[in-house]
A and B are shown apart, each in its own frame.
Chain A
């Protein structure tokens, strides 16, 4: 154009064409680049996109309810409630003060307390509050604030507060059952979570209608109907709370069991807690169900089992008498009674139990060794060991539906042990062996029901999501614990113990005559962790039964280190047993003699 510089219009045109050529060249380069990205490298970028966009979610299954019997009804004792977590996406909160005011109007609290979480930097998910109700969540939704959201979550609800707390356990923040039934039956209760694979937006919200989306619906958990009787359970808990204080105890536990099927009708410990507030419990020992996870040396209550074994082997007969020398020297140690009742004299089987003679229990082990003699030998040790381990199933978990069940301990029948005779003489009266309350209940039940060991159970039935009910049949672990006649032989011996205490001034052991009540106290020495026993600390234990024509319930009581003016078994364990039996009779739970 500028002709004075010699340019011609043709040159101007050629400059435009040059520029146009450059534009075309760049466009071609971009086109080639697009070919490279979209065709050559397509699968790489497709995968990169899916890595970002395709997310997997578990769809939680609804957890099964836990129910129990209340009279003739089945009532839920653990329910689910859907509560909501309120969260914010801080970059989308345009006016934090205003939003905080709105939140405060809906869920309470000071507006200023929400400001920090609403304005936190570097996150798109900031939790504002937990456990909003459905109504509150709806109200938040009505605000239509893109920076706020709620997320539903099921929480366990306990309409009866601390009822059977340690039997139930609880569900932790991760949705996993811990302790008790919740732990033991977690799989059944939790069902099978569903799976959602979905292309989502950047916040993780699934986009509708994507070909990559797949969904497997969740299968809800089963409902569990417990064997617990709500009425008995409630009263048992009240009794334990009362006696815990009255006996200045460090902990009490009790089991009420139906001996004919192993059903646990009531099981409780004190102190306890409310599972709804498990998160605020500072001492995790409160979560323990000591009736199944706290084995102790049971003391003289063991004599009921020793007597049963000795009767069953024919080593003794129920009416047999023997000369009690008041002490035995075994492996160089003296065995004598805790009670000193007049020293050496003629005694019988009934008085072994009534007076709780350690010398008598030792004598029964001697009879199992060699009838008519007063020595302990390998045969007797092996026989008694066999009864403890293979008949009464001690030293191993019973398999009750509880978390953290303990095994207890039975000393091995090691005949090379130089003090094995002493060790085993001790086990005959419940020392040097450790047993849980549930183990004792099941073992005594097996004797009283005619010799069948039913696995202790808390589950009466399970109800599938489709409503189909499966009754939990009693599971027999051992058929020939003792011969059928041993129970009827042991019953009057144990009734005799109750009568002896009544006659001895324990007026609370007076029960109506149309019921049978039998029992046995135990005052157990407490082993030091360093070996040996404490001088003045005892655990009080009690085993017994109540019924009409036959034993209806077996009851085991453990009272840990009570501070009472007398024998721990008589003054710490026995009153609890008496309270329970009176309650059962008074409330009409026991069918009387006809």
Chain B
């Protein structure tokens, strides 16, 4: 089933007649961008290999069976492949229509996580138990917000209300406030909160919300964050620890210091796959939030740059899908996924190299933990679906139509995307 380019049609209607529009806008179906799959597979494989390599250390420090972590991660990879194909094959329109269901599920999961904590002794209630499995409610919240934001912004674009503060910005601010209270304070998950705000902000920005308004909202959030930090002494201490990252290596900065030692001692070429020492109990969360530091210790500067390059190229491919997306909803979904994955990657790695404070969020596709990789694979599945279609303009379109590249000739960007042109799959969406 082909997605509809409704918003695009709306947009063109302002300058073109319906007929002209129908002639001008075409969405072509072709082979999806396999690079997305390949890059994700590389990252998942790297994660599995690193977790396999540090299994002996993990089994010593956690007292589990030697293959426990690898088996669990392999299972999660299997589930994430299923998630990928599920999201890639459920049409965008259906995702869009199910935003209420998803938001409801996100709220429910959060309430369950807070009300029925898996570990009552741990103050941050983030986990939901489903039988013997458990997952992090915030991942579902981010996913539902992604769908809702894309739907919400697309609707505002259609109604030409995107610049209307009361109708567009206020609901978003309310959503951010709720998230700030629930995720940042109750679940004390500042990392995920930052990811959510960045995702919503960038989606709004790309949707066309005036930059001035986004900046004002940004300033308000910054002010609120500053007040929140100032009001809680332990957060103030954390900020101070961040500003002087190695001042208290035996105390509150222990993890940050050990992460830097792991990264730095990896040197140019690394200690080798089986030779990480920091995983043996020195660096907390070696399999999870700190896995980049362990990776950097094993593979050194060369390996770290290679991993950054893989992430960077993945971001680039997602970016290309976004610029070629056939409709506003799809485009906003892809931009949201790009922001979600990239910001989470930056925050995680940034903390490991001492550029950002520790936030306790995973490294996408690499960190141990099923919820994270399943949701990220699902998100890439959405991008993969969108990558099947390219918006372009017919050759016969009238010259006053101002196409994407300021030219009637769309072949340049088709070639630029590098996809094969399949005439048999192409067709006019309204046809």
B202 near A52 (CB under 8 angstroms)?
Answer: no
Residues A201 and B57 in contact, CB atoms below 8 Å apart: yes
Assembly CA distance A146 to B206 (angstroms): 53
- Indicate which residue in B160, B277, B331 contacts A207 across the interface (CB closer than 8 Å): B277
Taking CB atoms, residues of chain A closer than 8 Å to B280 are 200-202, 207
Chain A residue numbers with a CB within 8 Å of B354 are 33, 37
- With a 10 A CB-CB cut-off, give which of A45, A145, A205 has the most chain B CB atoms: A45
Q: B63 touching A39 by the CB < 8 A rule?
A: no
- Which residues 83-103 in A have Cβ within 8 Å of B in the complex? 92
User: Is B266 on the interface with A (CB-CB < 8 A)?
Assistant: yes
A4-24 interface bits toward B, Cβ cutoff 8 Å, 1 = contact, 0 = none? 110111111101110110011
The answer on a CB contact under 8 Å between A38 and B312 is no
Name which of A4, A23, A203 has the most chain B CB atoms within 10 A of its CB: A23
Instruction: Write out the residue numbers on chain B whose beta carbons fall within 8 Å of the beta carbon of A10.
Output: 402, 404-406
State whether A42 touches B353 (Cβ < 8 A): no
Q: Which residue of B lies closest to A200 (CB)?
A: B280
CA of A239 to CA of B338 in the docked complex: distance in angstroms?
95
Contacts of B353 in A (CB 8 A): 30, 33-34, 37
Q: Which of these, B296, B312, B331, B404, contacts A34 with CB under 8 Å?
A: B296
Asked whether A46 and B264 contact (CB < 8 A) given A27-B311, A30-B350, A201-B57, the answer is: yes
**Residue of A20, A23, A39, A52 touching B301 (CB-CB under 8 A):** A39
Contacts of A74 in B (CB 8 A): none
A114-126, CB under 8 A of B: which get 1 and which 0?
0000000000000
- A146: contacting residue among B63, B268, B300, B349, CB under 8 A: B63
Whether A38 touches B404, Cβ cut-off 8 Å, given contacts A19-B202, A23-B342, A201-B57, is no
Which residues on the B side are within 8 Å of A4 (C-beta)? Answer: 14, 160, 162-163
A35 adjacent to chain B (CB < 8 Å): yes
- B267–A2 touching, CB < 8 Å: no
> How far, in angstroms, from A145 to B64 measured CA to CA in the complex?
10
Interface residue? B123 (CB, 8 A): no
A216 close to chain B: CB less than 8 A: no
Interface centre among A7, A35, A199, A210 (most CB of B within 10 A): A7
Which residues of chain A have C-beta atoms less than 8 A from B405's C-beta? 10
Query: Smallest CB–CB gap between A583 and chain B, Å?
Result: 62
Compute how far the CA of A8 lies from the CA of B207 in the bound complex, rounded to whole angstroms.
11
What chain A residues lie within 8 Å of B346 (beta carbons)? 23, 26-27, 30
- Is B389 located at the chain interface by the 8 A CB criterion? no
Q: Determine whether A41 belongs to the interface, using a CB cutoff of 8 Å to chain B.
A: yes
B315 to chain A: which residues have CB within 8 Å? 20, 23-24, 27
A52 with B63: CB separation less than 8 A = no
Q: Within residues 28 to 64 of chain B, which ones have a CB less than 8 A from any CB in chain A?
A: 57, 60-63
A147 contacts B by Cβ under 8 Å: yes
* Residues of the B chain whose Cβ atoms lie less than 8 Å from the Cβ of A41: 264
Check A31–B202 contact: CB distance below 8 A: no
Q: Convert B300-334 into 0s and 1s, putting 1 for each residue whose CB lies closer than 8 angstroms to a CB of A.
A: 11001100100110011001001100001001000
Most chain A beta carbons < 10 A, residue from B156, B160, B281, B311: B281
Determine whether A476 belongs to the interface, using a CB cutoff of 8 Å to chain B. Answer: no
How far is the CB of A143 from the nearest CB of chain B, in Å?
A: 12
Q: List the B side residues contacting A52 at CB < 8 Å.
A: 258, 261, 282
How far is it, in angstroms, between the C-alpha of A146 and the C-alpha of B304 when the chains are bound?
33
Binary contact readout A163-205 vs B (1 if CB under 8 angstroms, 0 otherwise):
0000000000000000000000000000000000001111101
Q: Are A39 and B267 in contact (CB under 8 A)?
A: yes
Known contacts A11-B208, A33-B355, A202-B61: does B277 contact A49 (CB below 8 Å)? yes
| Interface assignment of B210: CB less than 8 Å from any CB of chain A | yes
* Chain B residue with the shortest CB-CB distance to A27: B312
The 8 Å CB contact of B263, one of A23, A26, A38, is: A38
Tell me if A29 is interfacial: C-beta within 8 Å of chain B: yes
Asked whether, in the complex, the Cβ of B281 is within 8 Å of the Cβ of A37, the reply is no
Contacts of B338 in A (CB 8 A): 19-20, 23
Complex CA distance for A330 and B422, rounded to whole angstroms? 137
B339 contacts partner chain A, Cβ-Cβ < 8 Å: yes
Residue total for B at the interface (Cβ-Cβ under 8 A): 65
B-side contacts of A279, CB under 8 Å: none
State the majority secondary structure of interface residues on A: helix
Q: Choose one: A15, A24, A38, A202; the contact of B281 (CB below 8 Å).
A: A202
Could you tell me which residues of chain B, from 222 to 242, have a CB within 8 Å of some CB in chain A? none
Asked if B305 and A12 sit within 8 Å, CB to CB, the answer is no
Instruction: Identify which of B57, B282, B339 contacts A19 (C-beta below 8 A).
Output: B339
Give the residues in chain A near B68, CB-CB below 8 Å.
none
Residues facing A in B41-98 (CB within 8 A) are: 57, 60-63
Number of A interface residues, CB 8 Å? Answer: 51
Residues of chain A with a CB closer than 8 A to B268's CB = 38-39, 42
Q: Is the CB of A8 within 8 A of B260?
A: no
In angstroms, Cα B281 to Cα A200, docked, is 10
Contact residues in B for A205 (Cβ distance below 8 Å): 60
Cα distance A52–B297 when bound, in Å?
15
Q: Is the interface of B mostly helix, strand, loop or mixed?
A: helix
The distance from the CB of B406 to the nearest CB of chain A, in whole angstroms, is 7
Of the residues A31, A38, A92, contact of B308 by C-beta under 8 Å: A31
How long is the Cα–Cα vector from A207 to B54 in the complex, in angstroms?
13
Does A48 make an interface contact (CB < 8 A)?
Answer: yes
B7 at the interface (CB under 8 A from A): yes
CB-CB < 8 A to A35: which residues of B? Answer: 301
A588 to B349, CA, bound (A): 87
- Residues of B with C-beta under 8 A to A15: 205-206, 208
Chain B residues near A5: list those with CB within 8 A: 160, 162-163, 208, 210
Cβ contact within 8 Å between A37 and B319: no
A169 vs chain B, min Cβ distance (A): 41
Q: Give Cα distance in the complex from A146 to B207, angstroms.
A: 54
Q: Which residues of A contact B404 (CB under 8 A)?
A: 9-10, 13
Contact A42 B14 (CB under 8 A): no
Query: Can you name the residue of chain A whose Cβ is closest to the Cβ of B339?
Result: A19
B-side contacts of A201, CB under 8 Å = 57, 60-61, 277, 280-282
A5, A46, A92, A205 interface centre (most CB from chain B within 10 Å) = A5
Query: Does B110 count as interface, using CB distance less than 8 angstroms?
Result: no
A34 and B63 contact, Cβ closer than 8 Å, known pairs A42-B268, A48-B264: no
Q: Determine if A53 and B206 form an interchain contact, defined as CB atoms under 8 angstroms apart.
A: no
Q: Is A246 an interface residue (CB 8 A)?
A: no
- Given A8-B402, A20-B315: A49 and B265 interface contact (C-beta under 8 Å): yes
Judge if A333 is at the interface, Cβ distance under 8 Å: no
- Which residues from B are CB-within-8-Å of A48? 261, 264-265
Q: In this assembly, does B363 line the interface, its C-beta being within 8 Å of a C-beta of chain A?
A: no
Nearest CB in chain A to that of B283: its residue = A202
Tell me whether B301 and A38 are in contact (CB under 8 A): yes
Smallest beta-carbon distance A377→chain B, Å? 78
CB distance from B89 to the nearest CB of A (A): 25
Chain A residues near B (Cβ < 8 Å):
1-5, 7-13, 15-17, 19-20, 23-24, 26-27, 29-31, 33-35, 37-39, 41-42, 44-46, 48-49, 52-53, 92, 145-147, 199-203, 205, 207, 210
In order of increasing CB-CB distance, the 10 nearest A-B pairs are: A45-B264, A146-B63, A202-B281, A201-B280, A2-B208, A49-B265, A2-B162, A4-B160, A38-B301, A20-B319
List the interface of chain B (C-beta within 8 A of A).
7, 11, 14-15, 57, 60-63, 156-157, 160, 162-163, 202, 205-208, 210, 258, 260-268, 275, 277-278, 280-282, 296, 300-301, 304-305, 308, 311-312, 315-316, 319, 322-323, 328, 331, 335, 338-339, 342, 346, 349-350, 353-355, 402, 404-406
A-B contact pairs, 6 of them (CB 8 A): A3-B14, A5-B160, A17-B323, A19-B335, A147-B63, A202-B61
